[in-house]
Structure 1
Amino acid sequence: MEIELKPMSEEKFNQYYKKLTEEYAADHAKAGNWSEDEAVDKARKQIEKLLPEGVKTKENYLYSVCDGDDPLGVLWLNVRPTPQGNHAYIYDIRLDDDQQGKGYGKATMQKLDEYAKEHEISRIALHVFAHNERAIKLYTKTGYEMTDHLMAKTFK
């Protein structure tokens, strides 16, 4: 298994953008942050704000995660200089459904560690929805630690 991060093409970005919008909206609706009626519009607006120039947006790096020539998923990484060194934020990392449970998640996170060293990134952060237990386990196993808790109580 040789994970590679290949720059995302415009064509792949257009496919990814549609799926990202739908899944991000669904995650926010599931978490109770947005109603289902407003979720897609809010997701689209947030993504457009973060990626106004698509794959060419400054400080944002969109990759196809591949095993050789086989596409496995995507990685969207934002890298910014800070007084403490380069910091990265994972806006999205996902494997295709049929690639999960095969060790690619861990291999991708290891590849990201190599990427961080190569690009002198001193910190990588990310957000994960509390209902995404599989991802939380993976991030914990690969050295990520909880830095915040956001809690809510819903009344009906």
Structure 2
Amino acid sequence: MGDTSGIGGTSDSSNTASDIVVEEASAQDEKRWHEGWLDRRGEQWRRHGLADDDVAGHLKRLDRMRADAALRPVWTLRSGEDGVVGYVAASSPAAPTGRRVIVDDIWVRPDQRGRGVGGAARAHVENWARANDLPRVAATIDPNDPAQAGLFGSYTTSSQRMQRTLAELPELPAGLVGRQMTEAEFPAWREGSVAGYAEEIAVARALSPEEALRQADAEFDELLPDGLATAQHSVWVLETGDEPAGSTYSAEIWLRHHLEAGRAFVFGVSVVPERRGRGLGRAVMRLGERAVLAAGDSVLALNVFGPNTTAINLYTSLGYQITDQSRVLDLTA
């Protein structure tokens, strides 16, 4: 459920160049940018291990999201005698996804990097957002790229994607039992999960509590139209044998199998509050990994909202690595 926009290509430092002229892209320049953007995003996903068919599907969805945006400008970056030194593209989604600007791409010509062109492009998008009364700017970056991390160093991390390649079938700790959720357990789980997810996206997407709850409910309806019988989805629960009053399990994990070739995704994981601090988060992740391997996938990915160091430390200790981050800047007058 994370944001799929991002930065394609390598940017430079956060300093701004004073001789950069930013102008509306011509039709020819916009075509050049668009082709290069899709090529760079495709290569990024291939580096993360996605198969060609999955990359093609991602690119199609990415292109459709931009086409559906309310505003989607592309600008050309020029510098004196050097001519075109880069491109910057942004978009603003239609309601009800929040009043914000997404930095779809900043690309700087390789021989022009390191002199503040990327900083000038970022500043232009921020000023354009202010001029259009859009209070938040968002970008998805590769935090392992120092240039991208530096360019958006003043932005706050709103979420990050992590993944791990699975090899051997992990064992569950002694005394713990894993099983699939029952139909009787589903309604209460769905209600609690929708409420929890709404709280997360209210902050991450700058939504009101009412907007966030409506959006969360709609996303759950879209993802699980047939409840537990929805194809390629499974919800697993972990029993400790001493569940607190009113609970039939102590932890749960919701998985989407075959999201891409050989790759599954964690849509939700939680531990009953009374059972936290007992290592059950680690155990239920191992339960999920067992289910993923049994279903035929070998990579498990997930999303962490905000700077949730507890969750990030847990996943890192289990061998998960950050692949990209969503960062935001709330603009002031």
- TM-score if structure 2 supplies the norm length? 0.43
Structure 1 residue runs of 4+, over 4 Å off? none
1:150 aligns to what SS in structure 2?
strand
2:195 aligns to what SS in structure 1?
helix
| 1:6 to 1:146, Cα distance in 2 relative to 1, 3 A | same
Q: Which residue of structure 2 aligns with residue 114 of structure 1?
A: 290
Q: Which residue of structure 2 aligns with residue 65 of structure 1?
A: 238
Tell whether 2:192 aligns with 1:19.
Answer: yes
Cα deviation 1:52-97 (Å, max 9, x = unaligned): 00010000001222224741121110101744xx321100011111
What is the alpha-carbon distance in structure 2 between the residues aligned to residue 41 and residue 29 of structure 1? 11
Greater Cα shift, 118-127 or 54-63: 118-127
CA contact (8 A) 2:255 2:288 kept: no
Alignment match of 1:39 (pick from 212, 230, 237)? 212
Q: Comparing both chains, which one has the higher relative contact order based on Cα–Cα distances under 8 Å and sequence gaps of 6 or more?
A: 2
Alignment match of 1:7 (pick from 173, 176, 180)? 180
Q: Which residue of structure 1 aligns with residue 311 of structure 2?
A: 135
Q: CA RMSD in A?
A: 1.9
- TM-score if structure 1 supplies the norm length? 0.88
Tell whether 2:102 aligns with 1:102.
Answer: no
CA contact (8 A) 2:252 2:284 kept: no
The unaligned stretches of length 5 or more in structure 2 are 1-173, 244-248
The unaligned stretches of length 5 or more in structure 1 are none
Aligned length: 154
What is the alpha-carbon distance in structure 2 between the residues aligned to residue 147 and residue 155 of structure 1? 26
What is the alpha-carbon distance in structure 2 between the residues aligned to residue 152 and residue 2 of structure 1? 43
Letter in 2 for 1:143: G
Q: Which residue of structure 2 aligns with residue 154 of structure 1?
A: 330
Q: Which residue of structure 2 aligns with residue 75 of structure 1?
A: 253
| 1:28 to 1:82, Cα distance in 2 relative to 1, 3 A | closer
Identity %: 27
* Structure possessing the higher radius of gyration over alpha carbons: 2
Tell whether 2:265 aligns with 1:89.
Answer: yes
1:2 aligns to what SS in structure 2?
coil
